[in-house]
Amino acid sequence: MPVLIDGLQCGYFNREVFQELRRGSVTCVTITLGFWERCVETMDRIARWRDMERENADLILIARGVADIDRAAREERTAIVLGSQNAELFEGRIRFIELFAELGVRVVQLTYNNQNELGGSCYEQEDSGLSRFGRDVVREMNRAGIVVDLSHVGNRTTLDAIRWAQKPVAISHANADSLFPHKRNKTDDVLRALRDNGGVIGCAAYRNITGDYFCSSLDAWCEMVKRTVDIIGIDHVGIGTDRSHGHAQIDLDWMRMGRWTRAIDYGAGSAAKPGKTPPADWLKEVHQLGDVPAALTRAGFTKQEADKIAFGNWRRLYAATFPA
Amino acid sequence: MPVLIDGLQCGYFNREVFQELRRGSVTCVTITLGFWERCVETMDRIARWRDMERENADLILIARGVADIDRAAREERTAIVLGSQNAELFEGRIRFIELFAELGVRVVQLTYNNQNELGGSCYEQEDSGLSRFGRDVVREMNRAGIVVDLSHVGNRTTLDAIRWAQKPVAISHANADSLFPHKRNKTDDVLRALRDNGGVIGCAAYRNITGDYFCSSLDAWCEMVKRTVDIIGIDHVGIGTDRSHGHAQIDLDWMRMGRWTRAIDYGAGSAAKPGKTPPADWLKEVHQLGDVPAALTRAGFTKQEADKIAFGNWRRLYAATFPA
C-alpha cells in the first residue's frame, strides 16, 4: 500500500534526496524533466534518470504504470514519475507524444509560464484558450497515456482542456485562489470543473503561491487542504508540494526567463520578492513529508479520507490515465 | 520460415512498395530512417513509420525482435527493421543509444559518407580509425541491441570496429572490392575480419558499386554472390540491395551533399556519372527480388546454402544482436 504520493517536485535529485524521500515514506513523486527544454534536452534528462535509476536501484524505480508504484510501496522504494512542466519537448509534433510516452514520460503540463502553441498561461494578459493544436495534443496525450497537467496553464485554457479531455486531468501543483489569491492558483469554477472531470489538484507548499500562514505549520497547511476539500470534495485533492532540490539563483533564472526574454521576470515572485523563497516552515527537510498523513488525521480527516489525499486520489488518476 | 531478408533499402516507402515487397516474398527489410538526420528529424521518421505500420497493418509490421520477423513470415507480411545510415541521430550522446533502441531502432551505420565523431568514412583521404567516442558507441550499441553497420565506413575504422565489437557486425550493403573495385566496397582483409567476427555482408545491387556486368542479369549477380562466398564462406553472405524507392535528384543531392558542402559531391557516382543510375536490369521492379532464391540454386548453391544467403545469415545476426 502506498504511503504518500507527491504530484510534483523539481530540482536536482541525487542519492541524498532519494534517501530523504525514503525517510519521509514518499512512495511516489512526479519529477520535473524540464521547463523550457525541447526534445533533445528532455531526452538528456530522461537518459540521466535512467542512469540514476541504475545507480540507485535500492532506493528508486522509474514508474511506467501504477503496478510500478505499488511495487515501489511493497519494496520500500520511491517510484519516480517522469513529468515535464512544458510541452516544448514535443517540438510542435503530434507524433512525438507517443514516442515520449514510450520513453516513459507520464505527465506533461500544457504550458509553463508562457503562452505556447497549445494555449495560454496563467501569466498572460490574454488567455487564448486551447488552440487547435492544443486540442489534438490533449486527445493524443489521453490516447498515449500521458497525464494532462494544467497547473501553470491559464484559467480559460484550463477550462477548455478539462472540457476537451477524454480522461481525468491534473492540476499537479497549485492551490485554490479563493484561499490564497495568486495568478498561479485556481479559481473555484476551475476547481469545480476539475471535480466534474474526475481530476485531482495537488496542494502546493511553495511559499509564493501558498502564503506565509499556510507555510507556518503543517497543521496550518492541512487546514488549507481541508478548505480545498470543502470546495471540491475528498476525491479530488492530493499533494503537490512543488518542493525544489538544490536550486540556486541560476536555476530560478532559467525557470523564469529561460531563453525567452532579455528582461527580468519574477515568475511567481515579484519585485518585492525577487529571489528564492524559503521552503514552508514545516518542509525544511524533505523527509518531513512523512508527517503529513498523521497531520491530516489531526485536521479531522478519517483514515480513509487521509489516505485519499496522501496517495489514493493520485493513484486513481494515474491508473485511469497511464498506458494500460 | 522467412523467404528473403534484404539488409538495406532506402527511399520513400508507401503502400505500393509494401505490395511489391509482398509480391517478391520479402519477409524482412531494413529501411533507412536517415542519412544526415539528427535526433528530432530521425524521430519524425520513426513516427512516420508508426503511422505507416498502423495504415498498412495487413502488409507490414515494425520488427523489434527476431520473433517479429518469424511472425511476419507466418502471416505473409514484411517485417520492417528500422535502420539509420548515420550515427547523427545520437547527437554525440552515448545515452541516446538506449533511448533510440527503445524506440525500435535496430541498425545504425557508424558513419555515412563523411567522417564523424565516431570514425572515418570510405570517402575520406585519411581514415582516423575508430575514435574514443566511437569505441564507446560500438559497445553501447552492442549492449542496447543495435546492429553495428559498417557499409560506408572507412576500412581502417571498419577493422577497428570489428575488433572492438563484442557482437557480430554488419556490412549491410556493399560488395567485395576485389570483385568490383570501388571506395564503397570492402577489401578482402576486411571481409575476412568480418568472417572471423561472425558478421554478415549484404551483397548490393546498386549499379555504382556493383558494376554493369553484375547488374546485367540475376545470374550474373548470383555469380558475384558466389564469388563473395568463395572469399568468406557461406555463413557470412546475405542480400543488401541498396534498392531505393522513388528517389529524385533532390533526394540524391541530400544524400550526397546534405548540409555539409556548398560544392558538388558525387557520392558513389562521379563527374562522368553524376545522376541517378538505373537499377540493376534484373531489379527494375522490387518484386523481382522474389526470383533470387531460385537463381541462387541455379548458381550452384544447395537449398540449405541458398537459404542462408536469402535469409538465414541475416536472421542469425539479428538474433545475436537485437535486444533479448
pTM of the predicted model as reported, rounded to 2 decimal places: 0.93
CB contact under 8 A, B44 and A93: yes
Q: Which domains does chain B have, with CATH numbers?
A: 5-321 (3.20.20.140)
Question: How far apart are the CA of A134 and the nearest CA of chain B, in angstroms?
Answer: 19
**Which residues of A have a CB under 8 Å from any CB of B?**
39-40, 43-44, 46-48, 50-51, 91, 93, 95-96, 98-99, 102-103
Chain B residues in contact with A103 by the CB 8 A cut-off are 99, 102-103
Question: How far apart are the CA of B39 and the nearest CA of chain A, in angstroms?
Answer: 7
Residue B173 has pLDDT above 90, yes or no: yes
Interface test with chain A among B33, B37, B38, B40, by most A beta carbons within 10 Å: B40
Q: Which residue of B has its CA nearest to A45?
A: B95
Question: How far apart are the CA of B63 and the nearest CA of chain A, in angstroms?
Answer: 16
**C-alpha to C-alpha distance for A87 and A104, rounded to whole angstroms:** 15
CB neighbour list of residue B294: distance below 8 Å, 6 or more residues apart: none
Complex ipTM more than 0.90, yes or no: no
Q: What is the three-class DSSP state of A201?
A: strand
Question: How far apart are the CA of A92 and the nearest CA of chain B, in angstroms?
Answer: 11
The dihedral region occupied by A130, where left means phi > 0, alpha psi between -120 and 50, and beta the remainder, is beta
CB contact under 8 A, A96 and B51: no
Chain B residues in contact with A91 by the CB 8 A cut-off are 40
pLDDT for residue A1: 79
pLDDT for residue A156: 97
Nearest to B227 by CA among B173, B301, B134: B301
**C-alpha to C-alpha distance for A92 and B110, rounded to whole angstroms:** 29
Nearest to A72 by CA among A291, A308, A318: A318
Contact A185, A174 (CB under 8 A): yes
Q: What is the three-class DSSP state of A241?
A: coil
How many residues does this entry show for chain A? 324
Residue B324 has pLDDT above 90, yes or no: no
CB nearest A98 (choices: B44, B50, B102):
B50
Residue type, A58: D
Residue B235 has pLDDT above 90, yes or no: yes
CB contact under 8 A, A99 and B44: no
CB nearest A103 (choices: B48, B51, B102):
B102
Residue B146 has pLDDT above 90, yes or no: yes
Residues forming beta bridges with residue B5, ordered by sequence position: B28
**Which residues of B have a CB under 8 Å from any CB of A?**
39-40, 43-44, 46-48, 50-51, 91, 93, 95-96, 98-99, 102-103
pLDDT for residue A191: 98
Residue B1 has pLDDT above 90, yes or no: no
pLDDT for residue B163: 97
**C-alpha to C-alpha distance for B53 and B39, rounded to whole angstroms:** 21
Residue B2 has pLDDT above 90, yes or no: no
Q: Per residue in B261-273, pLDDT tens?
A: 999 999 999 999 9
**C-alpha to C-alpha distance for A274 and A277, rounded to whole angstroms:** 9
Contact A210, A185 (CB under 8 A): no
Chain B residues in contact with A95 by the CB 8 A cut-off are 44, 47-48, 50-51
Alpha helices, DSSP H only, in chain A?
15-23, 39-55, 66-74, 96-102, 132-144, 155-164, 188-197, 207-216, 218-232, 249-257, 292-298, 303-307, 313-321
Q: Per residue in B99-130, pLDDT tens?
A: 999 999 999 999 999 999 999 999 999 999 99
Chain A residues in contact with B91 by the CB 8 A cut-off are 40
CB nearest A47 (choices: B43, B99, B103):
B99
Contact B306, B315 (CB under 8 A): no
Please give the helix or strand (H or E) that residue A107 lies within, else none: strand A105-109
- Segment B225-243 shows an average pLDDT of 98
CB-count exposure of residue A244 (10 Å: 0-12, 13-18, 19+): middle
pLDDT for residue A309: 98
Q: Could you write out the DSSP letters of every residue in B232-300?
A: H-GGGEEE---EEES--HHHHHHHHHTTT-SS---TTS-SSS-SPPPPPGGGSSGGGGGGHHHHHHHTT
Q: What is the three-class DSSP state of B128?
A: coil
Q: Per residue in B53-107, pLDDT tens?
A: 999 999 999 999 999 999 999 999 999 999 999 999 999 999 999 999 999 999 9
Instruction: Kindly state the percentage of chain B with pLDDT values over 90.
Output: 99
- Segment B222-236 shows an average pLDDT of 98
Per-position pLDDT tens, chain A of length 324: 789 999 999 999 999 999 999 999 999 999 999 999 999 999 999 999 999 999 999 999 999 999 999 999 999 999 999 999 999 999 999 999 999 999 999 999 999 999 999 999 999 999 999 999 999 999 999 999 999 999 999 999 999 999 999 999 999 999 999 999 999 999 999 999 999 999 999 999 999 999 999 999 999 999 999 999 999 999 999 999 999 999 999 999 999 999 999 999 999 999 999 999 999 999 999 999 999 999 999 999 999 999 999 999 999 999 999 998
CB contact under 8 A, B103 and A98: no
pLDDT for residue B152: 98
Chain B residues in contact with A99 by the CB 8 A cut-off are 43, 46-47, 103
User: In whole numbers, what is the pLDDT of chain B averaged over residues?
Assistant: 97
Contact B172, B109 (CB under 8 A): yes
